[in-house]
Amino acid sequence: MGRLTWPVRPRPDGRGEVWRWDLQAVAELPAARAVLRARLAGVGTLPDDEDDTPAERLVLAFDELASNALRHGSSPVVATVIAGSGGWLLDVSDRDPDTMPCPAVDRDPAQGGLGLHLVARLSLAHGWYVDDDCKHVWACLPTATEDREPALA
């Protein structure tokens, strides 16, 4: 079976804010999502009247990658969002550099495990790398829905 390729992460352009969460347990994710939504609303990217916004897609990708790291990686888990011109760079690291992200293949969707596929579809680019003793899984998400390439069927 083939594996979904996750290439090398691009460097952020340094033009935006950096938000960081040190996470120890999955139970911390609802509060982290709430803080992320509040920060996005504070910079005017999270309207109150829409559910499928680029900001909500960032929150979903954040939740998927952070929960994967907490469930399958080793603590500590650090989730970072970097706002750049035209998009966000989401980087989630854990202390399990020997285990690569492995998207589910031929699994019943009812059994879960489709988060990496979802993040791949939501993002402009995605990947992973190892830096010293940390594994980083990352995704670049657009700040505008029209910036996304059409989803492949």
- Indicate the length of the chain as a whole number: 153
pLDDT confidence of residue 1: 35
| Beta-carbon count within 10 A of 20 CB | 10
Q: What percent of the chain has pLDDT over 70?
A: 76
Q: Tell whether 6 is covered by a domain.
A: no
Q: Tell whether 141 is covered by a domain.
A: yes
pLDDT digits over 67-86, tens only? 999 999 999 999 999 987 77
How many distinct structural domains can be found in the chain? 1
Q: Tell whether 103 is covered by a domain.
A: yes
Higher-pLDDT residue of 119 and 45 is 119
Q: Tell whether 7 is covered by a domain.
A: no
pLDDT digits over 90-129, tens only? 999 999 999 988 887 777 777 667 889 999 999 999 999 9
**Euclidean distance between CA atoms 63 and 41, whole angstroms:** 17
Strand partners, 91: 80, 138
Residue ranges making up the domain that contains 78: 18-147
Instruction: Give the global pTM.
Output: 0.80
C-beta separation of 123 from 141 below 8 A: yes
pLDDT confidence of residue 6: 45
Task: Quote the strand ranges of 1-153, DSSP E.
Answer: 18-23, 77-84, 87-94, 125-131, 134-142
What single-letter DSSP state applies at residue 126? Answer: E
Q: Tell whether 47 is covered by a domain.
A: yes
Higher-pLDDT residue of 41 and 20 is 20
Q: Tell whether 11 is covered by a domain.
A: no
Tokens at residue 74, please?
A: 């080793």
What single-letter DSSP state applies at residue 43? Answer: T
Q: Is the pLDDT of residue 149 over 90?
A: no
CATH code for the domain in which residue 30 is found:
3.30.565.10
pLDDT confidence of residue 56: 93
Residue with tokens 């900001």: 55
Torsion from C-alpha of 12, 50, 39, 133, nearest 10 degrees: -50
| 87-94 β-sheet, strand order | 18-23, 77-84, 87-94, 134-142, 125-131
Q: Is the pLDDT of residue 43 over 80?
A: no
Q: Tell whether 113 is covered by a domain.
A: yes
Q: Tell whether 13 is covered by a domain.
A: no
